[in-house]
């Protein structure tokens, strides 16, 4: 079994062999357990080696803080530190107590757009990968970035709205049979 740093190395090696592939990086640094030191090392490797091979990264704010090495950083501060490594950055909200979720899209060219949605009750597992997958699919279909982000965020919100709680744990997004295009 590969360790986290070896997995980053493997992904970088594969992507380097195929530079034409558009990459959406979902830096899963806050799921599961694990020691903080390990996450920092992986965050550093992702920032330095994987983000430059990506079109866009989709960290949540806690992950963006790890990638930017800013433990108390705001989304704006994290974006400023991370944009030299990746062309576009979508920092997702939802980890506070606010009644609205603010997802922020940043680009190297100075674009900063905020997408707001209603907070849903409950705790969810799989929202980040749902978003990244939906975004990758829309980009692969040729949709422009801003539209693809909006479509992916809308889709993700609907999967969370319709989520199922399996047992007593977190809610799991219901990805199907939602209409992806509406």
Tell me the per-residue pLDDT of 56-112, one tens digit each, with 9 for 90 and over.
Answer: 999 999 999 999 999 999 999 999 999 999 999 999 997 777 789 999 999 999 999
**CB neighbour list of residue 26: distance below 8 Å, 6 or more residues apart:** 57, 58, 59, 128, 129, 131, 132
Domains in the chain and their CATH numbers?
Answer: 4-172 (3.40.1190.20)
The pTM for the full model equals 0.86
Better pLDDT: 38 or 122:
122
């Amino acid at each position: 079994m590969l360790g986290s740093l070896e997995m980053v190395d493997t992904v970088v090696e594969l992507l380097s062999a195929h530079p034409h592939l558009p990459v959406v990086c979902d830096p899963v640094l806050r799921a599961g357990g694990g020691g903080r030191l390990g996450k920092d090392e992986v965050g550093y490797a992702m920032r330095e080696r994987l983000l430059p091979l990506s079109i866009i990264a989709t960290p949540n704010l806690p992950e963006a803080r790890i990638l930017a090495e800013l433990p108390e950083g705001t989304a704006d501060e994290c974006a400023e530190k991370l944009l030299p490594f990746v062309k576009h950055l979508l920092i997702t909200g939802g980890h506070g107590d606010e009644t609205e979720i603010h997802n922020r899209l940043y680009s190297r060219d100075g674009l900063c757009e905020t997408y707001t949605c209603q907070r849903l009750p409950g705790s969810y597992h799989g929202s980040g990968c749902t978003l990244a997958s939906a975004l990758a699919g829309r980009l692969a279909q040729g949709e422009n970035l801003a539209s693809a982000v909006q479509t992916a965020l809308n889709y993700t919100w609907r999967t969370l709205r319709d989520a199922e709680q399996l047992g007593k744990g977190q809610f799991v997004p219901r990805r199907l049979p939602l209409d992806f295009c509406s």
